[in-house]
């Protein structure tokens, strides 16, 4: 088989930023398109609509988590060139915002409002990927979108599927206790986090880990798993079928009761170390 052609779809945020930037730099000859999810897209109600929904479900206790994982990285991204220039990190892929990095590498990068819409479908057809890879992506691909890649798609999920299906698996793993953390690669399917499992590893994490730090660790750990899978696909010209796993209940963003229980047990969604990590995304 000729070189694998990959369309990488991500929501660039603290949990995945350094890992996906390094992935793009290392596999630039295979990545034919990077799709960046617009977190403030109209379909979600924009920033205001999303905040209202989060507050209605989770209360104000979710705000530090949202700010550290998503808000601060978004706010600081436009300042990255100045920070990199002052810090001498302009040539470091992990410190370079993904869109800028793609520009340097000659990889098309587009903002995605609707991953299943006609505009992005046209972009995918033009890129002609063999494989779609989602790695911390917040939009659900329909079967007809997945079918635009010859071999289908793969998702990286920082949880031990079929447990903890949903957008924040490390929060639910934190609530379940030690031994609940892990990383799964699975086939993309119409149902959320329900495709056949291609690879899975439990990952022991420190007792004082936060849900934020766990997500960072797991996305980084998944890189080794992902390289192994992508190399196999490139060598064989096929995506393994994987093993089916009956889906367990969907795990949404936590409600007030869950957050109160985590607080009572001394378990944290985020802390000062995570805040520092978010502030330093443009540094070495």
CATH code of the domain in which 252 resides: 3.40.50.170
Q: What is the pLDDT along the chain (284 residues), one digit of tens a residue?
A: 578 999 999 999 999 999 999 999 999 999 999 999 998 898 888 889 999 999 999 999 999 999 999 999 999 999 999 999 999 999 999 999 999 999 999 999 999 999 999 999 999 999 999 999 999 999 999 999 999 999 999 999 999 999 999 999 999 999 999 899 999 999 999 899 999 999 999 999 999 999 999 999 999 999 999 999 999 999 999 999 999 999 899 999 999 999 999 999 999 999 999 999 999 999 99
- The residue among 105, 98, 107, 97 whose CA lies nearest residue 5 is 107
CB 61 within 8 A of CB 261: no
Number of domains in the chain: 1
| Segments of 117-224 assigned E as strands | 131-135, 153-157, 182-187, 197-202
Q: Give a yes or no: residue 1 inside a domain.
A: no
φ, ψ of residue 256 in degrees (nearest 5):
-60, -40
Rg (C-alpha) for the chain, rounded Å, is 18
Q: Give a yes or no: residue 244 inside a domain.
A: yes
Report the distance separating Cα 169 and Cα 27, nearest Å. 27
Q: Give a yes or no: residue 115 inside a domain.
A: yes
Q: Give a yes or no: residue 284 inside a domain.
A: no
Q: Give a yes or no: residue 203 inside a domain.
A: yes
Q: Give a yes or no: residue 219 inside a domain.
A: yes
Report the distance separating Cα 131 and Cα 99, nearest Å. 20
Report the distance separating Cα 94 and Cα 23, nearest Å. 9
Residue with tokens 């992935």: 23
Q: Which residues are paired to 10 by β-bridges?
A: 36
Q: Give a yes or no: residue 220 inside a domain.
A: yes
pLDDT at 160: 98
266 is in which domain, residue-wise? 6-279
Q: Give a yes or no: residue 275 inside a domain.
A: yes
């Amino acid at each position: 088989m000729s070189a694998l052609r990959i369309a990488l779809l991500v929501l660039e945020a603290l949990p995945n930023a350094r890992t996906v930037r390094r992935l793009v730099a290392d596999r630039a000859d295979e990545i034919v398109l990077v799709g960046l999810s617009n977190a403030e897209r109209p379909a979600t109600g924009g920033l205001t609509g999303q905040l209202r929904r989060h507050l209605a479900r989770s209360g104000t206790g979710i705000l530090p988590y949202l700010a550290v994982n998503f808000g601060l990285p978004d706010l600081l991204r436009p300042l990255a060139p100045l920070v990199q220039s002052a810090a001498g990190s302009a040539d470091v892929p992990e410190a370079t915002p993904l869109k800028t990095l793609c520009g340097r590498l000659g990889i098309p990068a587009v903002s995605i409002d609707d991953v299943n819409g006609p505009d992005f479908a046209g972009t995918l057809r033009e890129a002609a990927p063999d494989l779609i890879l989602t790695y911390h992506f917040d939009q659900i691909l329909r079967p007809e979108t997945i079918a635009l890649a010859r071999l289908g798609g793969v998702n990286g999920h920082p949880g031990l599927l079929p447990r903890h299906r949903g957008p924040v698996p490390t929060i639910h793993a934190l609530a379940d206790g030690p031994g609940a953390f892990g990383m799964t690669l699975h086939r993309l399917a119409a149902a959320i986090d329900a495709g056949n499992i291609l690879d899975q590893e439990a990952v022991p994490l420190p007792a004082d880990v936060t849900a934020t730090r766990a997500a960072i660790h797991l996305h980084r750990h998944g890189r080794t798993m992902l390289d192994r899978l992508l190399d196999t696909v490139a060598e064989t010209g096929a995506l393994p079928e994987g093993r089916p796993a009956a889906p367990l209940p969907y795990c949404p963003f936590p409600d007030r009761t869950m957050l109160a229980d985590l607080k009572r047990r001394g378990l944290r969604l985020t802390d000062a170390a995570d805040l520092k990590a978010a502030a330093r995304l443009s540094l070495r």
